[in-house]
Structure 1
Amino acid sequence: YGKKAFVWAGLRPKVFIMEPDHMKTIFFNHSTFQKNFKVTNSVVQELITGIIRFEGEEWSKRRTIMSPKFQLEKLKQMIPLVLKCSDQVIIEWKKLVSNSKDGSYTLDVCHDIEELISGVTSQFLFGIDYAKDKEIFHLITQLSELTKQATKVSNLPGSKFLPTETNRKSKRLTKELHQRLYKLMCERKKAIKEGKVVEDNVFNMLLESEIANNQDEMIGHM
């Protein structure tokens, strides 16, 4: 309990890092502080990918690319976007109240809050309009639900090869998600290479870095 605490998860100790200075030390010494877990559940593996699972130099490289986007000044630029999305939600709530007979309305805001967060996240990460293209986030949400279920079940050796309903659904959702992201990636790459103006978001930033690195590698081989 408190800022210096740990718990045991079975035979594995988990330490809670609460001090910002300690967090900085861990992030900067990524070769010393390695992740002490390995994802073995096949369903969980489909969702937990990328920088979450990277270690060493690969993790450092991706973090260096992404860090500028998450600096305070960059995050402040999200305020107008958050306000815009919030205003849209509030307008819908006001409509519900005004259309009610007694001027009051009981509403479960959980769904609307999820939509709000998804709307802001989709713009910040992918630069897409969530209201027009919800499929990517719906696929991620479904995979997240499967992941929650999978973590509650013991992972037996070879279980990922069993034709269970969960495994089949996980593979289907993952395939569809990869197809949609690949299509989006190809469209953005084409726009970047053609010199078209692209929005400032995490997805485009990673693509620009990849294109630049590939060009550097090509020059190095000449």
Structure 2
Amino acid sequence: METYFSILLSILLFPVLVIAWSALNWVWIRPRKLERILRLQGFSGNPYRFLYGDLRDSSLMLSQARSRPSSVSDDVKTRVLPFLNQLVKTQGKNSFMWLGPIPRINIMDPSHLKEILSKIHDYQKPDSNPLFKLLLEGLVNHEGDKWSMHRKILNPAFHMGKLKLMLPAFHSSTNQLVSKWEEMLSFKESSEVDIWPELQDLTRDVISRTAFGTSIEEGRKIFQLQEEQSELALTAARSVYIPGWR
């Protein structure tokens, strides 16, 4: 009987030990090993911090940057990518950052970028938060032959002749926005405008006219839902993705 219970206990403990070892390897052993390899290859970066890496600092800096008012003369990098901008300043161009327990190398040499983009089978895209698949599915995350096929399908849409056909839609959307601002000024000498939502609507209107042959008013609800979904996905991306946690 004791032998039977010993065997049963061993069978039950084995998968627990395997899961525990896999988790330890994911959050500590493998990141530390990769950090040593990257530093030996001449890359610099912040020391790995358990589970979160640089995510917390990156999220905090981004929130602080967006909470401050900005002007036209401000450096856009400090607002859009504040953590990466600081990292390059302190660690240099040959640097890496931690997205949770996964390091990301910053590729800033144009010749290296050209090589990576031309060898689609050798350099595959890093895994990202699966929630992003709710937002986009295409060239951004396809690999190999599937990527080549989608790029071949999309290329004709960006030929000069096709882009010229879109100019009337661009002109119409822009003209409506300028007319709206002029109407605001017709009642008073000056008027303050929050330009960000106005430019968002301009972009949406152009997309609606060129891609779907309609105006933004008919697709406003869809754009609003996509915006909410984007905010939720970006919030999740600033934290470590643990399968099943969300």
Q: What range describes the TM-score normalised by the shorter chain of this pair?
A: 0.5 to 0.7
The CA deviation at 1:59 is 0.8
1:99 paired residue number: 187
Offset of residue 47 of structure 1: 1.5
- Provide the residue aligned with 1:181 in structure 2: none
With 144-153 and 23-32 compared, the bigger mean Cα shift is at 23-32
Which residues in structure 2 correspond to 1:101-180 (within 5 Å)?
A: 103-160=189-246
- 1:23 Cα deviation after fit: 5.4
Once residues 169 and 244 of structure 2 are traced to their aligned partners in structure 1, the CA distance between those partners, rounded to angstroms, is 46
Cα distance change of structure 1 residues 26 and 154 upon mapping to structure 2, 3 Å threshold: closer
For 1:9 and 1:124, locate their aligned partners in 2 and report how far apart those are by CA, in whole Å.
38
Q: Secondary structure at the match of 2:230?
A: helix
1:66, distance to aligned residue in structure 2 (A): 0.4
Question: What's the counterpart of residue 103 of structure 2?
Answer: 12
Output one character per residue of 1:152-183: Cα deviation in whole Å (capped at 9) or x when no partner. 222223113xxxxxxxxxxxxxxxxxxxxxxx
Compare CA radii of gyration and give the structure with the larger one: 2
Inter-CA distance 72–28: structure 2 relative to 1 (3 Å threshold): farther
1:149 partner amino acid: T
- TM-score (norm: length of structure 1): 0.60
State whether structure 2 residue 172 is matched by structure 1 residue 63.
Answer: no
1: CA distance, partners of 2:137 / 2:121: 19
Query: In the superposition, relative to structure 1, how do residues 151 and 28 fare at CA in structure 2: closer, same or farther (>3 Å)?
Result: same
Deviation of 1:18 after TM superposition, in Å, equals 6.3
Gaps of 5+ in 1: 161-222
Once the two structures are superposed, what CA deviation does each residue of 1:96-147 show, in whole Å capped at 9, x if it has no partner?
11123xx211111111111001111223333332122212222211111111
Q: Which residue of 2 aligns with 1:78?
A: 166
User: What CA deviation, in whole Å up to 9, does each residue of 1:65-116 have, x standing for no partner?
Assistant: 001111234223333221211110010001111123xx21111111111100
Structure 2 gaps of 5+ residues are 1-87
Q: Which amino acid aligns with 1:92?
A: K
**Correspondences of 1:32-43 after superposition (within 5 Å):** 32-35=122-125, 37-39=126-128, 41-43=129-131
Once residues 29 and 124 of structure 1 are traced to their aligned partners in structure 2, the CA distance between those partners, rounded to angstroms, is 32
Q: CA deviation at 1:6?
A: 4.3
1:117 maps to amino acid: T
Higher relative contact order (CA 8 A, sep 6+): 1
Q: CA deviation at 1:29?
A: 2.8
Change (3 A) 1:125 1:31: farther
Check 1:95–1:75 CA distance in 2 against 1; reply closer, same or farther (3 A cut). Answer: same
Distance of 1:77 and 1:16 partners within structure 2: 36
> What secondary structure is seen at the aligned counterpart in 2 of 1:54?
coil
The percentage of counterpart residues that share the same residue type is 26
Letter in 2 for 1:140: Q
2:213 partner amino acid: G
Aligned counterparts of 1:144 and 1:92: Cα–Cα separation in 2: 28
Q: Is the 8 A contact 1:6 1:13 kept in 2?
A: no
Distance 1:139 1:110 in 2: 18
